[in-house]
Chain A
Amino acid sequence: MSPAATPDESLLERAPVLARDWLTGFLPGPARWLAGSLLAVVAVLLVFATLFALLTLAERKILGRVQNRPGPNRVGWFGLLQPVADGIKMLIKEDLVPRAANPVLHLLAPVVLLAAAIMTFAVIPYGRHLVPVELDAALLYFFAAGSATELAVFMAGWASHNKYSLLAAMRALAQLISYELPLLLSTVPVVLAAGTLSTTGIVAAQSGWKWNLVPHWLVFTPCGAAGFAIFMVSALAESNRSPFDLPEAESELIAGHLTEYSGFKYALFFMAEYFGMCAASAMAVTLFLGGWHAPLPALEAIPSYVWFSAKLLALLLGFIWVRATMPRLRIDQLTRLAWKFMVPLALVNVGTAAFWSLTFPWTGPLQLLRWAVAIALAAGPFFLLGRGLTSGLGPRTYRYA
């Protein structure tokens, strides 16, 4: 549970803790703890369910603007009630299960997927006093809980008894195995720098400012910046988002593992995708962007959870922007990118992080050398490997008949 608030903090900062204590104050000891935990679960679910509804609308609106069309604008003001209409539609649609499908696995797949996505929310520090569960090995828990998503996608594809779904399941397996590795490796520099696997510890390690101006966020170190880039690309792939949405590629596989799903089960898949995206972004904020810390000392008066939400929303909009901009990869390009580019880059980045933490005591001109070597270690392999990846694919020449 979250630590107790100290009275010298602003009222807004303490508001969630005060609200919890006011709501559960009349209960005896153990029941109070249980009620507090349940309250945290309900709060997390409510906030992220609302965010999910608004995100679907924002995504459709932004994609519409990018593609020079208005997007949904018929239901409510500016289409604001569109998520409600979609929800009602999903609820009252017929739930079809193919006769040849495995009914148990067909039902279990969306449930497992959503459960795994929700479980990852437990260890994220949303604010100074807003950590649902504090674990010593929180980072490991996050990845362990998220690892069930692959299994669920595979179950969905295989249980549907549909060739498109099975192809999608195979693709999902290849993709998720490939990108799990760089995702995990990109967090090693963070663990090296913070010296802990606990998310609260990692956020605490990023507190403070240099010259009262530059925050001590890991993204402002060479290995942190490279780690952040690798983490975001891998997270994009892990959450099956465009340009890595090969398992549900509409143009080739109809809808992949979603082909045989309708009604509310389909909505659950949709929800799990957005929850996964939110969890990955929240983890990126926690690991690299200083968690709930304010970017400037003067801005600390604004409550910590507002800063966390702002960073989270910025990353989520980035996800949507990428979807609007990038074309989908081919499956061989996808695996080649993972194994020939991301994994070596992530491995080198672990070495860079080791150099960075070993040279911590260097001062004066040595500090400049430290930065130069670290930047070279982070950027050099990027260009070398990138050249190897695209060699032979050079500029395309077009000949007109």
Chain B
Amino acid sequence: MNTVLVIVALATVATAAAAMSRPSLLNCVLLLTVSWTGIAAFYLWAGAEFAAFAQVLIYVGAISMALMFAVLLTRRTRSDFPPARASGSRAAYAILAGAAVAAVLLAAVARSSVAAAPAPGPASTVRQLGVQLMGPHAAALLVVGVLLTVALIGAVVLAAGAGPARPEGTR
């Protein structure tokens, strides 16, 4: 069972690392999609099938599409791809920032106590999940819903605010 986890983890990390190093943006998106699928596989391994399917549906199905759409629509000339190589100082800053995040994460992991033998997780069904979300966590669900609705309305306002496009030279 643990070999499966190691393979999944390696694939996830490797594709994420490859995505960061590719010059072509679209290649990055496709590699990131593989990485997200790896995270879904991890959820599946951990027995959270609902979270796994939701992860695939949302990340592979929707977010990757949104990313690709953004890349394709904002690309103006062929020279936009691939961008110029980063300078040395920029790389140094990037490594510094990355190291800081890694240090914080490692400190958190090191301080938390991990039980030697993990207890068997509760077998959660979709029904239990729904009852939990609609019962004790209803407020959080509503807040998230309101947040997303506000974001959606904001997007509509931004998109509609430009008004009808006029041809050049007319008033």
What residues of chain A have their CB less than 8 Å away from a CB belonging to chain B?
A: 105, 135-137, 140-141, 143-145, 147-148, 150-151, 154-155, 158, 166, 169-170, 173-174, 176-177, 180, 195-198
Contacts and interface: CB of A to CB of B under 8 A. Distances in A.
Contacts of B54: 140, 144
Interface size, B (range): 20 to 34
Contacts of B53: 137, 140-141, 143-144
- Among A137, A176, A177, A196, chain B packs the most CB atoms within 10 A around the CB of A137
A137 B56 CA distance: 13
A190 to B, nearest CB: 14
A170 B60 contact: no
B65 A150 contact: yes
A232 B50 CA distance: 25
Contact of B60 (A136, A151, A195, A197): A151
Contacts of B49: 135-137, 141
Given A151-B60, A173-B72, A198-B126, 15 more contacts: A105-B30, A137-B53, A140-B57, A143-B53, A143-B61, A147-B56, A147-B57, A147-B61, A147-B62, A151-B61, A158-B26, A166-B72, A169-B72, A174-B69, A180-B61
* 4 pairs of A and B residues whose beta carbons are closest in the complex: A147-B61, A144-B56, A140-B53, A144-B53
Interface string B43-65: 00000011001101100111011
- Interface of chain B: mostly helix, strand, loop or mixed: helix
Interface of B: 26, 30, 33, 49-50, 53-54, 56-57, 60-62, 64-66, 68-69, 72, 125-127
B86 to A, nearest CB: 24
A148 B125 CA distance: 25
A398 B110 CA distance: 78
A105 B22 CA distance: 15
Nearest to B66: A177
Contact of A144 (B33, B61, B125): B61
B4 to A, nearest CB: 16
Contact of B65 (A140, A158, A176): A176
A155 B65 contact: no
Given A144-B57, A151-B60, A137 B65 contact: no
Contacts of A155: 30
Nearest to B61: A147
Nearest to A149: B61
Contacts of B127: 195-196
A113 to B, nearest CB: 13
A197 B65 contact: no
Nearest to B72: A170
Contacts of A137: 49-50, 53, 126
Contacts of A136: 49-50, 125-126
B68 A143 contact: no
B27 to A, nearest CB: 8
Nearest to A170: B72
B126 A151 contact: no
B55 to A, nearest CB: 8
Contacts of A166: 72
B126 A197 contact: yes
A145 B56 CA distance: 8
B61 A148 contact: yes
26 contacts: A136-B49, A136-B50, A136-B125, A140-B53, A140-B54, A140-B57, A141-B53, A143-B61, A144-B54, A144-B56, A144-B60, A144-B61, A145-B56, A147-B56, A147-B60, A151-B60, A154-B65, A173-B65, A176-B65, A177-B66, A180-B61, A180-B62, A195-B127, A196-B126, A196-B127, A198-B126
A205 B72 CA distance: 45
A136 to B, nearest CB: 5
Contacts of B61: 143-144, 147-148, 150-151, 180
A173 B68 CA distance: 9
A137 B50 CA distance: 6
